[in-house]
């Protein structure tokens, strides 16, 4: 896997914090099948369904239980069955093979979908969600909801 660009927080995942104007190899990633990049962090889903994230971690968006950033990929705590990943500015989410969705990181505007406004450095279950849709934004993640069918979409977004 190759990444490049701004590297103030280790976003390319090559173990450094030097900006990259050309692709650099992400350290410790083998078998990546999906990648999602946020404002200052990146996550990858691997063939074995584990997830790894790297970069900034001020809100716990790396999902390893700490607030320390990492210039190299680190495992998301307890996530060994990821089917899909999505990230936004400081929030990360994964749909698990069971169909449930978990999110971690910034929750100042309710982005984690857990019914609170408390950020979390570890994955938390999202309420009433079947799967992640393609809609990802600056500070939002959108998903298709479980019943009631009269409410076709759940969306957690910062209100400006």
Is 118 a residue whose pLDDT tops 70? yes
Contacts of 118 (CB under 8 A, 6+ apart): 107
Give per-residue pLDDT as tens, 3-59.
Answer: 899 899 999 899 999 999 999 999 999 899 999 998 899 999 999 999 999 999 999
- Please name the residues in contact with 73: beta carbons below 8 A apart, sequence gap of 6 or more: 13, 26, 27, 28, 29, 44, 52, 53, 54
Q: How far apart are CA 10 and CA 97, in angstroms?
A: 29
The average pLDDT across 98-112 equals 91
pLDDT above 70 covers a percentage of the chain that reads 80
pLDDT for residue 152 is more than 80: no
Estimate to the nearest angstrom the gap between the alpha carbon of 10 and the chain centroid.
Answer: 15
pLDDT at 116: 94
pLDDT on residue 78:
96
Query: What structural domains does the chain harbor?
Result: 2-157 (2.130.10.30)
**Residue closest to 144 by CA, chosen among 89, 77, 84, 88:** 84
Residue 124: which H helix or E strand, with range?
strand 120-125
Taken in order 64, 71, 117, 38, the sign of the CA dihedral is negative
Assign 108 a pLDDT band (cuts: 50, 70, 90): very high
pLDDT band at 100 (very low <50, low <70, confident <90, very high): confident
Give the model's confidence band at 99: pLDDT under 50 very low, under 70 low, under 90 confident, else very high. Answer: confident
pTM of the model: 0.82
């Amino acid at each position: 896997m190759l990444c490049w660009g701004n590297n103030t927080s280790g976003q390319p995942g090559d173990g450094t914090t030097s900006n990259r104007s050309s692709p650099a190899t992400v350290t410790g990633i083998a078998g990546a099948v999906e990648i999602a990049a946020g404002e200052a962090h990146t996550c990858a889903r691997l063939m074995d369904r584990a997830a790894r994230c790297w970069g900034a971690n001020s809100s716990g968006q790396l999902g390893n239980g700490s607030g320390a950033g990492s210039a190299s990929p680190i495992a998301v705590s307890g996530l060994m069955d990821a089917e899909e990943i999505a990230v936004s500015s400081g929030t990360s989410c994964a749909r698990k093979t069971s169909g449930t969705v978990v999110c971690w990181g910034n929750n100042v505007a309710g982005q984690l979908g857990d019914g609170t406004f408390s950020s979390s450095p570890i994955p938390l279950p999202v309420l009433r969600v079947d799967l992640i849709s393609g809609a990802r934004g600056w500070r939002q993640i959108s998903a298709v909801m479980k019943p009631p069918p009269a409410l076709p979409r759940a969306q957690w977004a910062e209100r400006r």
